[in-house]
Each structure stands twice: as structure tokens, then as C-alpha cells.
């Protein structure tokens, strides 16, 4: 309905086509997935106040913030830690599919990530990975204060935490660089007088 309204008022036309483009495809590694099927479906009593719930943070074994154990998290949480040499992402996922994880990673990798695992359940998992910022500034997610905690110390103490190494080690998934069919759309608009 919205598309036809935009076409009538502004002459918007959309052309969709499928092209072979570079992408990443998560697949199950040889060792198998290390994902825990979620015990709840997100409709229990704890989900009503999920917007207002703040998990208790503690100092983890790596010296960085960690969500304290024993908490029943009603939704997923992500923390971004900026340091002098890079960025660390920590994700505590609740009731998420591998397809939702692929969507999250698409933004991080600047390339489409298309789920090829065949895993259809919803999972609870934790994932930590780092990105070398190449000496650039730390990207902000909003005006300060935001969800990024700044550290003057290095973040990349473990080079094995790139997303390509973290996925197999922590979740039993691997990212494969591929080319595959992706639907893209091009829109053009002409003003009506």
C-alpha cells in the first residue's frame, strides 16, 4: 500500500533483480554447533519488564565488564568497549536465531551475511570478538553517554578474537566468504508537477 502511494504521489519506481555478489555465509563447523537452545520463548513473566531490566555487571576474568552469572536475562544485550588499539564487542543473546546473528554481523562486516547453517531453533549464547580500528576513532552509537565504554589500555590482547576465529571457538560456526545470489533493489523517483 505504501509503495503504491509513493508511486502515485512521487512517481517512485522500484526495480528488483538478483545478482551474484560477495557475501559471508555462516555454516556449522566440523565439531558441530555449541549453541544452547533457549529454555523459554520470551513470553514469560520476566519479558514484560525487559525494557527496564538492567543486568548486573561484574569484572570478568579478562578485566572487562561481564554480565554476572545466575541472572535470567529477558532479552539480548550488547556491549561495545573501545580501547587504544581496537574495539571489543560482547553479545549476550537471548532467544535469537542464527539468522538474527547473521543480520547483526552484516553491519559489522560491511558485507551481507546469509545464514546457511540450517539451524532453525532460538538460542541463548554469548559471543565476544574484537576489531582492529586501524588507529581510527571509536565509532559512536549515539551522543555521549552511550553504550561504548572507553579504555585507554589496549583491547586486542588476544588476536584470536577476530569474528572469524571467535565464531568457531565460541559457537561452533564458521564464516565462509562466498559469492551468491542476492536480491537488490534500485529505486528512482520523479517529481510530479
Sequence-distant (≥ 6) Cβ neighbours of residue 159 within 8 angstroms: none
User: What's the whole-model pTM score?
Assistant: 0.72
CA gap 127, 173 in Å, rounded:
11
β-sheet bridge partners, residue 183: 18
Tens-place pLDDT, residues 17-51:
898 999 999 999 999 999 999 986 555 444 555 55
The alpha-helical segments, DSSP class H, found in 54-191 are 98-109, 163-166
CA gap 87, 90 in Å, rounded:
10
Cell 509503495 appears where? 3
Tens-place pLDDT, residues 76-119:
888 887 776 778 888 999 999 999 999 999 988 888 999 999 99
Amino acid at each position: 500500500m505504501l509503495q503504491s502511494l509513493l508511486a502515485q504521489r512521487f512517481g517512485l519506481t522500484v526495480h528488483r533483480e538478483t545478482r551474484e555478489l560477495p557475501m559471508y555465509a555462516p555454516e556449522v563447523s566440523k565439531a558441530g554447533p555449541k549453541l544452547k537452545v533457549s529454555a523459554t520463548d520470551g513470553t514469560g513473566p520476566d519479558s514484560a519488564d525487559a525494557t527496564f531490566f538492567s543486568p548486573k555487571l561484574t569484572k570478568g576474568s579478562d578485566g572487562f565488564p561481564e554480565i554476572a552469572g545466575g541472572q535470567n536475562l529477558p532479552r539480548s544485550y550488547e556491549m561495545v568497549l573501545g580501547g587504544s588499539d581496537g574495539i571489543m564487542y560482547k553479545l549476550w543473546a537471548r532467544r535469537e536465531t542464527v539468522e538474527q546473528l547473521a543480520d547483526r554481523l552484516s553491519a559489522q562486516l560491511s558485507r551481507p551475511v546469509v545464514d546457511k547453517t540450517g539451524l532453525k531453533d532460538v538460542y541463548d549464547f554469548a559471543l565476544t570478538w574484537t576489531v582492529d580500528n586501524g588507529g581510527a576513532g571509536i565509532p559512536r552509537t549515539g551522543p555521549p553517554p552511550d553504550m561504548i565504554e572507553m579504555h585507554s589500555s589496549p583491547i586486542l590482547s588476544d588476536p584470536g578474537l577476530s569474528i572469524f576465529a571467535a565464531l568457531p571457538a565460541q559457537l561452533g560456526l564458521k564464516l565462509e566468504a562466498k559469492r551468491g545470489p542476492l536480491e537488490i533493489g534500485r529505486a528512482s523517483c520523479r517529481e510530479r508537477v
